[in-house]
Amino acid sequence: MPKLDRSPMRVTAEYDTPMPMRDGTVLRGSVHRRAEGGPFPVLLARSPYGEGPFRAVPLTAALEAGFAVVLQHCRGRGTSDGEFRPWLDEGDDGYDTIAWIRSQPWSNGEVVMTGMSYLAGCALQAAATRPPGLKAVYAAMTPHDFHDGLKYHGGALALGSALNWGAMQAALGLMHAAEAGEDVGAAFGELLPAMTDQAAAVRTLPLEAVRGIPWWHDWISHPERDAFWEGLAETLRHDRIEAPVMHVAGWFDLFLSGTLENHRRLGGPLVIGPWSHLTAASSGTGRLDFGFAASAPAVQLEQRQLAFLRGRDTGPAVKIFVMGDDVWRDEESWPLARAVETRYHLHSGGLLSPEPPAPGAEPAAFTFDPRDPVPTVGGPTLLADPTNVGPQDQRDVERRADVLCYTSEVLESDLEVTGPVTVTLRAQTSAAATDWTAKLVNVHPDGRALSVTDGIVRTSTSSGTYTIDLVATSQVFKAGHRVRVQISSSNFPRFDRNPGTGRPAASATEADLVVQHQRVFPDSWITLPVVPR
């Protein structure tokens, strides 16, 4: 019988350790280190969610790898003092925390940072302040900008995720205040509708009437990239980041575009799995199970993370999971240099084809009523319903009269699409303004129509040529399958509804909603990055 020759690893842990910031605010966290030896390099993670997300930090593996580990609560969260202000304080607080770590006798002066989502943003914002001693950052599934790709996509408010995350953070703030002895009963009462019935809350009109989320008005009253967002952007200056960064993304993550942009600007290793925002450890997303090999543990992502943070990574520059083939593949760069941008045209009769349409073909038409928007079914979501994510069957959506479908002939051979995907749409509306949405769909031989990726663009003109960014994918449409593109004017509540008036959507009331008569012209197409096979 095999026996493991291992000695006990004795560890010391200190909780609620005070760490003073430059303005006198005391942040707190836990410090974990081997009881013997040292000083150690330190792995730092900072979180606004309390203790829960720290369980995803590879604590034992990091200690075995020779790190001490500091898990710190952001200001106004957990046991830290102060007021939580999303994204505003994370750069300076990260800088000050690293300075505090380097002054401790158990620290050798070298610090690395790790995290996913907001935690990864904390790490990148700290890196942008160029703190002495910061050696590397591991950043998973995080935006590159606080306006574009976080609160707004293609000009439309990311309503579902903004409301869901905002309500959660508001609740955490009230619990923090209650712990400090404040009376928060009235504030909880105000927040309750947004917390307990988000299906109703997303239909609030005007949207500015949503209550209980401290930052809500700021988010929805600045739909354009103005001074408000530029001020936040100054806290994440990519041109100031010097530490090497490893990036991890998911094909169905709402921050895929942000992670890819972080990688483009900063370089460093990139790993993309078939994951949504909360499923990197699993083998399935939405209606598909890709098998255990698709999971982060199977690809030893944790081990690679620690190797990168120790400066010992020997993995590929880019590692992607190719859906359809359901295999991991190493690449030299992203996007793939060998991918060929290929146009598939949107013919008026519903055909999707590499062949251009005949001259003079008539446009397709539909009517969009913002009182009855096309429902969100799957995609890169972070909604109150955690099952409404990833690849989902689109057949119910496609039966609606306000959804146009363009479908290819049955494929005679495999078609690999790996890279950025866009739709170029020449379209017209009867309204003063509208939204145009597009979705790429994989139609299986049994009729299932599973979503692959989607996007939106908000327009302020009645006609024109518009580009809809569907971000990216790696999907093999197998022989016997068909490729489909959906076109419509809403994807709700992933995005807010466009009232059609041209005025700010945040202040639109029920009386402001305009029925919109839409036309899509046949000189429109989707650009697919086709990889020769």
Question: Token pair of 487, please?
Answer: 């076109």
Catalytic annotation on 430? no
Burial degree of 230 (CB within 10 A; 0-12, 13-18, 19+): exposed
For residue 501, count other CB atoms closer than 10 A to its CB.
15
Active site residue 402: no
Query: Locate tokens 């203790």: which residue?
Result: 51
What type of residue sits at position 388? N
Cα 431 to its chain centre, rounded Å, is 31
Catalytic one of 80, 117, 451, 474: 117
Residues shown for the chain: 533
Report the distance separating Cα 296 and Cα 313, nearest Å.
Answer: 17
- Would you give the distance in Å from CA 306 to the centre of its chain? 23
Q: Please give the backbone phi and psi of residue 298, each rounded to the nearest 5 degrees, phi first.
A: -65, -35
Helix then strand then coil, % of the chain, to nearest 5: 25, 35, 45
Q: What angle do CA 519, 525, 531 make, to 5 degrees?
A: 160
Query: Catalytic one among 32, 153, 277, 481?
Result: 277
Active-site residue, selected from the candidate residues 89, 96, 148, 253 = 253
| 242's tokens | 């010097």
Contact present, 198 and 210 (Cβ < 8 Å): no
Residue 277 is among the residues annotated as catalytic for this protein: yes
Looking at residue 511, its amino acid is: A
Q: Determine contact, residues 229/113, Cβ cutoff 8 Å.
A: no
> DSSP letter string over 425-439?
EEEEESSSSEEEEEE
Rounded to the nearest 5°, which phi and psi values hold at 303? -65, -40
**Which residues form the catalytic set?**
117, 253, 277
